[in-house]
Amino acid sequence: MSRFLRAYAPFIVAFGFACKQTNHETQNLKSEQVDPSAVGGSNPRVSSSAVPGVKAAWTELGPNSTVIARVITELSTCPQLILNSGSVSMNVRAKSTPAFAVTVCELTLPSDTTSAVLGTQRLHLPKSNPQRIVVLGDTGCRIKEEKGALQLQDCNNQATWPFQQVADSAAATAPDLIIHVGDFHYREANCPVGNQECIGAISGDTWESWQQDFFAPGLRLLEAAPIIVIRGNHELCARGGNGWFTLLDPRPMPAACIDSSPPYFLQFGDHQLAVIDAADDQNMVPSFNQIKPIPSTLTWWALHRPFLTPGADDEVTGAPAKLPPEWQTAGTISLVLTGHKHLLSYNQFPGTSQPPELINGHGGTYLEKPTVKGQSLNTVTQPGLQSVEWYNYGFATLDRQSEGWALTARNVNGTPVINCKVTEALGTQTNLACTPLDAANVPPPQHPKEKLGL
Ligand SMILES: [Fe+2]
């Protein structure tokens, strides 16, 4: 604990790389033709289902803990699932369009489902009391033009865009549940013709772009456990919003993309999770006001944007979001899961009634510049705030314990770098105690360069 509290730097800096929305017009252009499922320098990813045409199949949780099987196929018809011992037809969620030239299929699984199989792939059903939860976020490969400058990540190099390695390592931990805290889609600007760093990258809000940014590199993770998906600002309608609703949002397909969708609850074990759409920061407070505490149930919130950690979201368009009075009592929320800021940042707020806020925005996209040059690990102590930051790539696991959770920050290989104990109880402010490990003391990745004038 003493190491956690030791201050290396007194302030949290403002971060220049937060994922700001622009009016940038995304385009569906292919700079070079490559197999879109071959990313990160790896071999193409193939669905474990071995069903012809199927590109991905997974289960996700939706409002009121509904379990949804979803399949993306190149065919115009949806495949059959074997539920328990009977064959059931999937429904068409989205027909093929020029931008999304695939069929998206789905089926809400009946509550008596004990097994769901697609071809040779057994789809994971939620555990009644999940023991291990993987949390990750901000995973895509950044190709973005802003004010004449191209922010370019080397999408073909796992050393500079390691999402596939992160996802595979997360899958290898054998989670019972996965929570992605948003910002899946980063391929917005076109890769300049001839540029070797992003050659083959497909831009725009299209299936091929989404496949490169999330579904191909994340395929093994999607096949590892049911997932809860949180919408990030990269999934606003002007950015990846059509892909969000076509491919990922667990609710019925809307007639048109909407920037703000309502919050919902789902249950896992003896907890409930409030899922909040914070893609548009103006949707935060209205969403906070729509959901009401249930004092008899441990409650987590999951939303893309941090709002308790000072300075964490530097791009809000109005006043920073605050909790309504009914949510301010200690223990009403026991944990807040977020991303958006491209680093690991675990924060608690002594002297207040606020819950700890975990930022896991280090899943693959460009990282923030480290507070201390050349150093991945940083701890902060200032009035009302204790935090540990890690400026490197990875994900987190939460393992159930008798009085809370063992929270383990892991690097791209799955090796633990920070051990934390999350102690939670009804009506009590959650305590977060973190101990950085020697494995955390590594130099941060070289900060990506911005190419000016392109
Ligand atoms: Fe974001």
CATH number of residue 318's parent domain: 3.60.21.10
Measure 250 CA to ligand 1 centroid, in angstroms: 20
The two structure tokens encoding residue 283:
């949707």
Last residue of a domain, one of 121, 142, 168: 121
Residues 114 and 243 both lie in one domain:
no
Last residue of a domain, one of 121, 146, 161: 121
> Which residues form the domain of 114?
54-121
Using the predicted structure, report yes or no on whether residue 31 has a pLDDT greater than 80: no
Residues 309 and 222 both lie in one domain:
yes
The two structure tokens encoding residue 128:
């009644």
Segment among 112-116, 204-208, 311-315 with least mean pLDDT: 311-315
Measure 346 CA to ligand 1 centroid, in angstroms: 17
pLDDT at 24: 31
Segment among 49-63, 145-159, 325-339 with least mean pLDDT: 145-159
Measure 325 CA to ligand 1 centroid, in angstroms: 26
Cβ neighbours for 252, distance < 8 A, ≥ 6 positions apart: none
Using the predicted structure, report yes or no on whether residue 130 has a pLDDT greater than 70: yes
Measure 263 CA to ligand 1 centroid, in angstroms: 18
Percent of the chain exceeding pLDDT 70 equals 89
Measure 77 CA to ligand 1 centroid, in angstroms: 35
pLDDT at 192: 84
Measure 178 CA to ligand 1 centroid, in angstroms: 19
Say if 152 falls within a structural domain.
Answer: yes
Residue position matching structure tokens 């050393």:
159
Measure 340 CA to ligand 1 centroid, in angstroms: 4
Say if 35 falls within a structural domain.
Answer: no
Residues 103 and 132 both lie in one domain:
no
Q: Which of 143, 138, 171 is nearest to 156 (CA)?
A: 143
Say if 49 falls within a structural domain.
Answer: no
Q: What confidence tier does 26 reach under pLDDT thresholds 50, 70, 90? A: very low
Measure 401 CA to ligand 1 centroid, in angstroms: 31
Contact 151, 144 (CB under 8 A): yes
Segment among 30-39, 68-77, 160-169, 225-234 with least mean pLDDT: 30-39
Q: Which of 13, 124, 19 is nearest to 338 (CA)?
A: 19
Measure 366 CA to ligand 1 centroid, in angstroms: 11
Residues 101 and 185 both lie in one domain:
no
Cβ neighbours for 204, distance < 8 A, ≥ 6 positions apart: 26, 27, 28, 29, 99, 187, 188
What is the distance between the alpha carbons of residues 423 and 431, in angstroms, rounded to a whole number? 5
Residues 92 and 133 both lie in one domain:
no
pLDDT at 149: 79
What is the distance between the alpha carbons of residues 255 and 276, in angstroms, rounded to a whole number? 21
Measure 450 CA to ligand 1 centroid, in angstroms: 19
Residue position matching structure tokens 């074990």:
269
pLDDT at 21: 34
Instruction: List the beta bridge partners of residue 179.
Output: 135, 228
Residues 117 and 80 both lie in one domain:
yes
Mean pLDDT for the chain? Answer: 89
Measure 134 CA to ligand 1 centroid, in angstroms: 19
Last residue of a domain, one of 121, 139, 166: 121
Residues 81 and 132 both lie in one domain:
no
What is the distance between the alpha carbons of residues 19 and 32, in angstroms, rounded to a whole number? 26
Percent of the chain exceeding pLDDT 90 equals 78
Mean pLDDT in residue range 191-202: 86
Measure 341 CA to ligand 1 centroid, in angstroms: 7
pLDDT at 44: 66
What is the distance between the alpha carbons of residues 399 and 81, in angstroms, rounded to a whole number? 31
Q: What is the total count of domains within the chain?
A: 2
Measure 343 CA to ligand 1 centroid, in angstroms: 11
pTM: 0.90
Task: Pick the more confident residue, 37 or 397.
Answer: 397
Q: Quick one: how far is CA 236 from the chain centroid?
A: 15
What one-letter code names the amino acid at 373? K
Measure 5 CA to ligand 1 centroid, in angstroms: 28
Measure 265 CA to ligand 1 centroid, in angstroms: 22
Residues 162 and 99 both lie in one domain:
no
Measure 377 CA to ligand 1 centroid, in angstroms: 22
Measure 18 CA to ligand 1 centroid, in angstroms: 7
Measure 153 CA to ligand 1 centroid, in angstroms: 16
Say if 37 falls within a structural domain.
Answer: no
Helix (H) or strand (E) holding 209: helix 207-210
Measure 184 CA to ligand 1 centroid, in angstroms: 9
Measure 412 CA to ligand 1 centroid, in angstroms: 20
What is the distance between the alpha carbons of residues 232 and 287, in angstroms, rounded to a whole number? 15
Residues 382 and 443 both lie in one domain:
yes
Using the predicted structure, report yes or no on whether residue 316 has a pLDDT greater than 50: yes
Instruction: List the beta bridge partners of residue 352.
Output: none
Task: Pick the more confident residue, 363 or 25.
Answer: 363
pLDDT at 197: 80
| 375-427: pLDDT as tens digits | 999 999 999 999 999 999 999 999 999 999 999 999 999 999 999 999 999 99
Mean pLDDT in residue range 37-55: 77
Measure 342 CA to ligand 1 centroid, in angstroms: 8
Measure 19 CA to ligand 1 centroid, in angstroms: 5
Residues 227 and 302 both lie in one domain:
yes
Say if 40 falls within a structural domain.
Answer: no
Q: What confidence tier does 110 reach under pLDDT thresholds 50, 70, 90? A: very high
Segment among 27-41, 140-154, 409-423 with least mean pLDDT: 27-41
Mean pLDDT in residue range 426-433: 96
Measure 304 CA to ligand 1 centroid, in angstroms: 7
Measure 262 CA to ligand 1 centroid, in angstroms: 18
Q: What confidence tier does 374 reach under pLDDT thresholds 50, 70, 90? A: very high
Measure 345 CA to ligand 1 centroid, in angstroms: 14
Measure 313 CA to ligand 1 centroid, in angstroms: 9
Residues 82 and 22 both lie in one domain:
no
Say if 42 falls within a structural domain.
Answer: no
pLDDT at 448: 59
Q: Is 427 left (phi over 0), alpha (psi -120 to 50) or beta?
A: left
What is the distance between the alpha carbons of residues 92 and 70, in angstroms, rounded to a whole number? 10
pLDDT at 13: 25
Measure 235 CA to ligand 1 centroid, in angstroms: 9
Measure 292 CA to ligand 1 centroid, in angstroms: 26
Residues 67 and 214 both lie in one domain:
no
Q: How does DSSP classify residue 187?
A: B
Say if 342 falls within a structural domain.
Answer: yes
Measure 286 CA to ligand 1 centroid, in angstroms: 19
Say if 7 falls within a structural domain.
Answer: yes
Using the predicted structure, report yes or no on whether residue 153 has a pLDDT greater than 70: yes
Helix (H) or strand (E) holding 80: strand 80-83
pLDDT at 28: 34
